[in-house]
């Protein structure tokens, strides 16, 4: 890779590069995976960096339509570079807002993502799970729902896996939308384990090398789901309303930005754990 991109870039496989996003890849940004001369996976690493990387690729592949992974898609539209995203999911700001927070908070969400990362409506072509997007190297999206309904991991040559928001961060899994599902997410993490990749590139943390280490990290990540269920159960040692549980914030703990949005997503996640406890 040429120098001068102003970001951490590491070759994780011949011709395949980990691109660390702005703010060390942490929300509201994300990491990208670059297949030199061919494609980039996810467009949330920061607009300044994407402008420099655009000349390296002819197509961009979005793992899902969360704003921190697609914030630069409008820029690639403007530059005339193809953008692919999961089939069946509209990509206007208004459609994304309704899907992710509902009508009541839609304007709050739009204002936040516009100000924080410059998200705009964008155009994309559809892709389907299991159908290769490129052949040399083979780049295949694999549906892994739970985090969002449209979440995919991207497998390159059967060896490098961009795991997107199965992100191995200390925070743990995220499933704050109506469409999110804890059980589906656990199955998706297990699916990622079964793919037996040699390198795992998460959307918000550093690459993991070696199958044994990858499995260990994924197992630890999945255990957070059960730990949260146990934590919420412990908070119910006396009767509490959902509002009280949200105020205690067992999942986020701190809410440094857009508190109405974080409260909404925390309430959804707590509800999902309560539903598991009722089974």
* Nearest to 184, CA basis, from 166, 199, 167, 201: 166
Listing DSSP states for 218-238 in one string gives HHHHHHHHHHHHHHHHHHTTS
* Residues contacting 88, CB < 8 A, separation 6+: 126, 150
Eight-class DSSP state of 85: E
* Structure-token pair, residue 248: 């205690």
HSE-up of residue 196 (Cα within 13 Å, Cβ side): 2
Residue matched to tokens 């929300």 = 27
* Nearest to 165, CA basis, from 144, 194, 196: 144
* Nearest to 113, CA basis, from 242, 264, 258: 258
pLDDT at 2: 46
Distance between CA atoms of 205 and 19, rounded to whole angstroms? 11
Superfamily of structural domain 9-216: Ribonuclease Z/Hydroxyacylglutathione hydrolase-like (3.60.15.10)
Distance between CA atoms of 95 and 102, rounded to whole angstroms? 10
Flag residues of the chain having pLDDT under 70: 1-6
Q: 241: buried, middle or exposed (CB in 10 Å: 19+, 13-18, 0-12)?
A: exposed
pLDDT at 5: 59
Question: What SS3 state is found at 160?
Answer: strand
Distance between CA atoms of 248 and 236, rounded to whole angstroms? 12
**In the chain, at which residue ranges do the beta strands (DSSP E only) sit?**
9-13, 16-19, 32-35, 39-41, 59-61, 82-86, 125-127, 134-135, 138-143, 152-156, 160-164, 199-202, 208-209
pTM of the model: 0.96
| Whether the bond into 28 is cis, omega within 30 of 0 | yes
Domain ranges within the chain, ordered by starting residue: 9-216
- Give the pLDDT confidence of 179-233 residue by residue, as tens digits: 999 999 999 999 999 998 999 999 999 999 999 999 999 999 999 999 999 999 9
Laid out side by side, the sheet with 16-19 consists of: 9-13, 16-19, 32-35, 39-41, 59-61, 82-86, 125-127
Q: In this structure, are residues 106 and 94 in contact, taking their beta carbons and an 8 Å threshold?
A: yes
- Give the pLDDT confidence of 54-78 residue by residue, as tens digits: 999 999 999 999 999 999 999 999 9
For 209, other C-beta atoms within 10 Å of its C-beta total: 13
């Amino acid at each position: 890779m040429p120098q001068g991109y102003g970001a951490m870039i590491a070759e994780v496989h011949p011709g395949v590069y980990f691109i660390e996003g702005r703010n060390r890849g942490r929300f509201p940004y994300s990491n990208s995976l670059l297949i030199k001369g061919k494609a980039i996976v996810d467009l949330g690493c920061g607009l300044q960096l994407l402008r420099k990387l655009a000349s390296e690729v002819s197509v961009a592949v979005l793992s899902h339509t969360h704003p921190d992974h697609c914030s630069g898609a409008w820029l690639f539209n403007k530059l005339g570079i193809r953008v692919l995203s999961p089939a069946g999911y509209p990509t206007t700001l208004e459609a994304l807002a309704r899907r992710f927070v509902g009508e009541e908070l839609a304007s709050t969400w739009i204002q936040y993502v516009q100000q924080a990362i410059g998200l705009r409506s964008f155009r994309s072509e559809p892709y389907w799970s299991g159908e290769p997007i490129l052949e040399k190297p083979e780049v295949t999206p694999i549906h892994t729902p739970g985090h969002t309904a449209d979440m995919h991991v991207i497998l390159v040559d059967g060896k490098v896996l961009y795991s997107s928001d199965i992100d191995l961060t200390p925070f743990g899994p995220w499933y704050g939308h109506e469409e999110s599902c804890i059980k589906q997410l656990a199955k998706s993490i297990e699916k990622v384990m079964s793919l037996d990749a040699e390198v795992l590139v998460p959307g918000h943390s550093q690459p993991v090398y070696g199958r044994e280490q990858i499995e260990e990290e994924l197992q630890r990540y999945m255990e957070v789901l059960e730990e949260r269920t146990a934590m919420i159960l412990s908070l119910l040692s006396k009767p509490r309303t959902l509002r009280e549980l949200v105020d205690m914030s067992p999942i986020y703990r701190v809410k440094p930005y857009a508190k109405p949005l974080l409260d909404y997503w925390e309430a959804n996640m707590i509800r999902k754990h309560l539903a598991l406890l009722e089974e």
